[in-house]
Chains A and B, each alone.
Chain A
Amino acid sequence: AQSVAQPEDQVNVAEGNPLTVKCTYSVSGNPYLFWYVQYPNRGLQFLLKYITGDNLVKGSYGFEAEFNKSQTSFHLKKPSALVSDSALYFCAVRPLMDSNYQLIWGAGTKLIIKP
C-alpha cells in the first residue's frame, strides 16, 4: 500500500537554530511531493512542492525541502527557526498514476520553536 511517513510526532527547536521535519514515502513511480503548514483551527497553507528538476526546492517563509530519490525522502528544512514557525506540518504525495489527483498524507508533525 502507498504511504507517507512523518516519523516524528513533534519536533522541538530553539529559535535561531536550523530545523528539519522528516518525510519519507512509499509510492510507485515518481510522485509529486508537497509540504503544507496548518495553524490552529485553520486550513492548510501551501509551503512548497517538488515536481521535477533541482532536488532542492525553495518555498514560502524561508522553508526549503530536499528530494532524495534513493532514500524516497522529502525532508523540510529551514536554516534559522522563528517562534512563528510553530505549527503543524504535513507532507503529502500525489502518485502520478492516480487519475483522481488524490493526495496521500503523512500524519503530521507538530513543530515547536522555543524562544
Chain B
Amino acid sequence: GAVVSQHPSWVICKSGTSVKIECRSLDFQATTMFWYRQFPKQSLMLMATSNEGSKATYEQGVEKDKFLINHASLTLSTLTVTSAHPEDSSFYICSAREGRGTSAYGYTFGSGTRLTVV
C-alpha cells in the first residue's frame, strides 16, 4: 500500500533555530500534501495544503513566514519551522493524497514528528 515516510520522528532544537521536517511518498505521487499540527489529546489542526509546484494555501491564523512549506516534487514536501519558539512545540503530521486511481479517495499519513523547542 501507499506509504509516506516522515522524518525526523522527533527533534529537539534551541529557541531561535529552524527545523525542517520532510515527508516523502515512497510508492505514489502525492498530488496534494496536507500539513497538520496536533496538540496533546486534541484533534488534527490543518495548517496548510500544498499542491505540487504551487504555493501552499495556509489556514487562517497560521503564519506562512514561520511555517514554510515546499512541495517542489510529486514525492517530497517539506515543512520548515523558522525561528522556532517553545510555543511551536507540538506534533506535526503530514498527509498525502494521490490524484489518480482508486486511491484518489484515500489519504496516507506520515508517522508524525514530535518537535520540542527548548
On A, residues with C-beta under 8 Å from B are 32, 34, 36, 41-46, 49, 51, 90, 100-103, 105-108, 110
Contact = CB atoms under 8 A, between A and B. Distances in A.
A43 B44 contact: no
B113 to A, nearest CB: 9
B59 to A, nearest CB: 9
Nearest to B46: A102
Interface residues of B, number: 25
A22 B9 CA distance: 31
Nearest to B111: A43
B43 A45 contact: no
A43 B10 CA distance: 12
A51 B105 contact: yes
Given A41-B91, A44-B93, A105 B43 contact: yes
